[in-house]
Amino acid sequence: MTALPPDYDSDPGRWQSWESPQDVHEIIAPDLRGPVLDVGCGEGRLASILAELARRRGVVGGSSPLGQAPFGDGARWVGVDSSPTQLAANPYRPVVLADMRALPFRDGAFTEVTHLWCLYHLDDPAPAIAEAARVLAPAGRYYACTAARDSDPEIMYEGYPRSSFDAEEAPEIVASAFDEVDAQRWDGKFFPLRTREEVRAYCRHNFVPAERAEEVAVPLWLTKRGVLVRAGKPRGRPWPCGDRFPAGPSGRCGGEAVRNLLFRPGRDGPDRARTEDRMGEQVPYVGYLTLGSDPHLVASECRSCGSLFLDRRNACANCGAREFSPRRLASEGVVRAFTIVHRATPDVKVPYVSAIVDLDGGGVVKANIVDVDPVPDQVTPGMRVALTTFGVGTDSAGTEAVGFGYRPA
Ligand SMILES: C[S@@+](CC[C@H](N)C(=O)[O-])C[C@H]1O[C@@H](n2cnc3c(N)ncnc32)[C@H](O)[C@@H]1O
Ligand SMILES: [Zn+2]
């Protein structure tokens, strides 16, 4: 059993080479109310989804993805990571450079703590889970996820090493710090790697020898197996009287600005951890566009029939169901149909190419095709395109609105 090498500073390209089109972040984000501590936050994937949800709920203001608290002025999302490179690539704030085994926060400061795809980097994850339990409010919720040893059998090779936090043992390891542990396992073919290039990127990302990428047939559907562990009630601590927050320094329950709950005085002064606060200078032009280091669209997926909608719906137009989950859409696709627009209102520059794009893995978007001459022989049905973003205007406060389109891939 080994810990996976955390090479995020020595080889950032390895981690960035591939990103799962769907992930547990989408599952847990709607349950998080904050303040949430995102431990091993990396480049901010959870934060980007929280930001999108907050925007849809109409929460405005604040530099944090959950926006301003309805109680107090504190941050609603806080990221922690030990990699300066990852934090530099993470556009969300505040973030704290720290080791997850020694969190620079007070006991009980957070309502939720997440350990998403990170505990296998430690030889022994238990002390980090105990730290998470310590900084969690008495009625708080804990989340961790990881893959199973027999995940991705289509590409894994004989002898791929066990990690220190495989799905097989994860619930038991979490139970070392929590009394109430629930495991939600997944096992199914989720998405294909469509091209040899994608398989190569996937292998690099997952420490699979490069030769394997050349041996398999594409498209390659992977059987994903893993677990999301949810836990509450840290060991040895009673449930509280019903207050959502623990006593602050003054002994009152709640009411303290969350920021005041963060650093443990004495032992972990601000010299031990670095926080950065920065207001976002860009806002997406439409709600379903998520900005950040990796801009992408997020659709509402009907939980009943899987239909995708790019705007907020009260009910599914296909089956009438009323429950939706956010789903990240692929950033590449093909042009299904297009038209070249020659007449528009005076403030719109013509001609431009307006197209219907079928995204890889599902989702249909109407958007402009940019970076091409707006003439018929430059655009063809079936042409591969990739998402691109651009500024569409800046307000008097200097905030830039960002729109999206597609360019030839
Ligand atoms: C696979 S990435 C996951 C990032 C993010 N949670 C996600 O799901 O997209 C693992 C992250 O854990 C961080 N990490 C590794 N060891 C750590 C440690 N001891 N303390 C804090 N963060 C650590 C890495 O720097 C990296 O950003
Ligand atoms: Zn439906």
* Each residue's pLDDT tens digit, 57-71: 765 544 455 544 333
Across 333-353, average pLDDT: 90
Ligand 2 centroid to 66 CA: how many Å? 28
> What is the CATH topology of the domain spanning 12-276?
Rossmann fold (3.40.50)
> Would the pLDDT of 197 be above 50?
yes
The angle formed by the CA atoms of residues 364, 379 and 363, to the nearest 5 degrees, is: 10
Residue 299, classed as helix, strand or coil, is strand
Amino acid at 322: R
**Cα–Cα distance, 180 to 182 (Å, whole number):** 7
Position 253 scores a pLDDT of 26
Is 42's C-beta closer than 6 angstroms to any atom of ligand 1? Answer: yes
Position 400 scores a pLDDT of 78
CA of 106: how far to CAs of 48, 62, 155, 255, in Å?
25, 22, 43, 16
The residue whose CA has the least distance to atom 17 of ligand 1 is 82
* Cβ contact 131:100 at 8 Å: yes
Closest to 379 (Cα-Cα) out of 349, 334, 348, 329: 334
**Cα–Cα distance, 212 to 186 (Å, whole number):** 24
Residue 117, by phi and psi: left (phi above 0), alpha (psi -120 to 50) or beta? left
Is 40's C-beta closer than 6 angstroms to any atom of ligand 1? Answer: yes
Ligand 1 centroid to 93 CA: how many Å? 16
Which ligand approaches the C-alpha of residue 118 most closely? Answer: 1
| Of 55-59, 273-277, 369-373, highest mean pLDDT | 369-373
Residue 152, by phi and psi: left (phi above 0), alpha (psi -120 to 50) or beta? left
Pocket perturbation via mutation, ligand 1, pick of 118, 163, 228 by most ligand atoms within 8 A of CB: 118
Closest to 140 (Cα-Cα) out of 40, 263, 39, 240: 240
* Cβ contact 2:164 at 8 Å: yes
CA of 63: how far to CAs of 34, 51, 68, 92, in Å?
14, 10, 8, 7
Task: At 372, list the tokens.
Answer: 């091409």
E-only strand ranges, 82-200: 95-97, 110-116, 136-147, 178-193
Residue 326: asked if its preceding bond is cis (omega within 30°), the reply is: no
Task: At 259, list the tokens.
Answer: 């920021």
SS3 labels along 324-340: EEEEECCCEEEEEEEEE
Work out the mean pLDDT of the chain and round it to a whole number: 81
* Cβ contact 385:335 at 8 Å: yes
Amino acid at 276: E
Position 128 scores a pLDDT of 97
Across 280-295, average pLDDT: 77
Q: pLDDT band at 259, cuts 50/70/90?
A: very low
Is 47's C-beta closer than 6 angstroms to any atom of ligand 1? Answer: no
User: Domain limits of the chain?
Assistant: 12-276, 282-408
**Cα–Cα distance, 17 to 355 (Å, whole number):** 29
Q: pLDDT band at 256, cuts 50/70/90?
A: very low
Neighbours of 306 (CB within 10 A): 13
Q: Locate tokens 């609603």: which residue?
A: 76
The residue whose CA has the least distance to atom 9 of ligand 1 is 45
Task: At 374, list the tokens.
Answer: 């707006």
* Cβ contact 66:32 at 8 Å: yes
Pocket perturbation via mutation, ligand 1, pick of 18, 121, 143 by most ligand atoms within 8 A of CB: 121
Q: pLDDT band at 239, cuts 50/70/90?
A: low
Position 64 scores a pLDDT of 52
* Cβ contact 102:81 at 8 Å: no
Nearest-Å Rg of the Cα atoms of the chain is 23
Spatial neighbors of 311 by CB under 8 A, at least 6 apart, are 287, 288, 300
Residues constituting the chain: 409
Residue 127, classed as helix, strand or coil, is helix
Q: pLDDT band at 129, cuts 50/70/90?
A: very high
Across 116-142, average pLDDT: 95
Position 272 scores a pLDDT of 31
**Cα–Cα distance, 332 to 328 (Å, whole number):** 12
Position 287 scores a pLDDT of 77
> Would the pLDDT of 357 be above 90?
yes
Q: pLDDT band at 75, cuts 50/70/90?
A: low
Strand partners, 226: 147, 186
